[in-house]
């Protein structure tokens, strides 16, 4: 039995931005078509200053592939102590017809890619058609990835950015302007940045101050990325009161997404959640219905996004004859 091994560098060559947007869209649709089994994930928190490692399993019935992603993050001493990145990942793909191991690939890039794509998919489904200005609260790797992906789906005229750390902010401006030629305006305050937004993206990891409801103008689409577990928060919960709330997974977002906060404060009930994004993509529920509503997309990240994206990478590898085969048994 042959297993394909794919290195990080090969993975990066094997998938492009527009393909990830397609695979994530496909994943969301599959999730809302009873084509997905996605059990609760396993997480192990190591003692500080180490981070966490998660094991996420997804079964995609349409493709008949089971994926398992082991993904670590927050090992802040790794670069100095071990010469390793602070987070790493490995993905196993199993043919669900036999449970044969068909692929072991480096999984460091996939989380970033599929998370970036989730924002772009939501922009297509929920942002105003005349949206031009993006506000980025948070200017780290995922903030850049969001721009890279959203830039595929619309014409971004300018980006208003804010970060607690002025150096990070200024680096972001340089990088984005040189990579995409989109002007970046460094805001003096979070408020100043948010007030400009047609699309507001939050990627701060949810530990800082909140975006206040009065800063959000009508018609804004909010992409809430940074909150994916209890204890994190980026948006003032009152923002949810009159917004159209769309989530990747109701089960996940009500438990550990941004949506948990307004639910916990009784600002909204579960019934006020408009739906899951897959339902909108499948046409089961409407997306944006007018130019004034505030839409929120709460993304906690799902195993099926890793699954469908890594299947695409695997198939591209087979087609292009990239990677190394290894026989774990004969």
**Which residues would be at the binding site for a second copy (CB under 8 A)?**
1, 5, 7-9, 37, 39-44, 46, 50-51, 53, 55, 57, 59, 66, 68, 70, 72, 75, 78, 81-82, 84, 87-88, 90, 92, 94, 96-101, 104-106, 108, 324, 326-330
Per-residue tokens: 305: 């996004």
Give the start-end residues of each E strand in the chain. Answer: 2-6, 36-37, 42-45, 52-60, 65-73, 89-95, 100-106, 133-137, 158-162, 184-186, 199-202, 221-224, 244-247, 273-276, 295-298, 324-327
Residue tagged active-site, from 2, 29, 61, 69: 69
CA distance 147 to 120: 8
| Nearest-approach distance from CB 203 to a second copy, in angstroms | 22
Handedness of CA 298, 264, 275, 252 (dihedral sign): positive
Calpha distance 106→87 (Å, rounded): 12
CA 262 distance to own-chain centroid: 21
Q: Which residues pair with 92 in a beta bridge?
A: 68, 104
Cβ proximity to a second copy: between 36 and 120 the closer is 36
Is 39 or 286 the residue whose CB approaches a second copy more closely? Answer: 39
Instruction: Give the shortest CB-304-to-a second copy separation in angstroms.
Output: 13
The minimum distance between CB 144 and a second copy, in angstroms, equals 20
Beta carbon of residue 318, minimum distance to a second copy (angstroms, whole number): 17
We find the least distance from the C-beta atom of residue 109 to a second copy, in angstroms, to be 10
- Cβ distance to a second copy smaller for residue 105 or 308: 105
Tell me if 244 sits within 8 A of 296, measured CB to CB. Answer: yes
Question: If you ran DSSP here, which 8-state letter would residue 109 be given?
Answer: T
The nearer residue to a second copy, 178 or 329, going by C-beta atoms, is 329
CB nearer a second copy, residue 18 or residue 84: 84
In angstroms, what is the C-alpha Rg of the chain?
A: 20
Q: Report the alpha-carbon distance of residue 74 to residue 77 in Å, rounded.
A: 9
Closest CB to a second copy among residues 84, 318: 84
| All residues at 6 or more sequence positions from 20 whose CB lies less than 8 Å from its CB, including other chains | 113, 114, 116, 117, 149, 309, 312
Torsional sign, CA 128, 276, 268, 231: negative
Provide the β-strand partners of residue 211: 235
E strand or H helix at 241, and its extent? none
Helix crossing, 141-150 with 17-31: angle to 10°?
Answer: 90
Between 245 and 304, CB nearer to a second copy: 304
Concerning whether 29 is annotated as a catalytic residue, the answer is no
Tell me how far, at minimum, the Cβ of 82 lies from a second copy, in Å.
4
Provide the 3-class DSSP secondary structure of residue 228: coil
CB of 103 to a second copy, least distance (A): 11
Positions marked catalytic: 69
């Amino acid at each position: 039995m042959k297993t394909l091994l794919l290195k990080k560098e090969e993975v990066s060559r094997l998938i492009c931005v527009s393909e990830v947007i397609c695979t994530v869209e496909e994943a969301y649709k599959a999730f809302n078509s009873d084509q997905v089994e996605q059990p609760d994930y396993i997480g192990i928190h190591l003692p500080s200053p180490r981070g966490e490692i998660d094991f996420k399993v997804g079964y995609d019935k349409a493709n008949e592939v089971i994926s398992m992603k082991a993904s670590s993050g927050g090992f802040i001493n790794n670069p100095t102590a071990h010469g390793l990145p602070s987070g790493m990942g490995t993905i196993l793909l199993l043919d669900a017809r036999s449970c044969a191991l068909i692929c072991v690939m480096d999984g460091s890039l996939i989380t970033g890619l599929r998370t970036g794509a989730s924002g772009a998919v939501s922009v297509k489904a929920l942002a105003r058609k005349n949206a031009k200005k993006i506000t980025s609260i948070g200017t780290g790797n995922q903030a850049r990835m969001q721009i890279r992906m959203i830039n595929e789906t619309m014409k971004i005229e300018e980006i208003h950015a804010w970060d607690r750390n002025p150096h990070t902010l200024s680096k972001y401006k340089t990088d984005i302007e040189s990579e995409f030629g989109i002007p970046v305006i460094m805001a003096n305050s979070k408020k100043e940045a948010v007030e400009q937004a047609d699309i507001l993206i939050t990627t701060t990891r949810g530990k800082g101050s909140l975006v206040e409801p009065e800063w959000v103008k009508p018609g804004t689409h909010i992409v809430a990325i940074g909150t994916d577990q209890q204890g994190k928060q980026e948006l003032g919960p009152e923002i949810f009161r009159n917004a159209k709330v769309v989530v990747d997974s109701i089960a996940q977002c009500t438990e550990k997404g941004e949506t948990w906060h307004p639910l916990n404060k009784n600002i909204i009930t579960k019934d006020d959640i408009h739906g899951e994004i897959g339902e909108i993509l499948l046409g089961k529920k409407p997306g944006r219905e007018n130019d004034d509503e505030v839409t929120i997309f709460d993304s906690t990240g799902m195993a099926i996004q890793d699954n469908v994206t890594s299947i695409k990478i695997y198939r591209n590898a087979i087609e292009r004859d990239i990677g190394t085969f290894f026989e774990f048994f004969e």
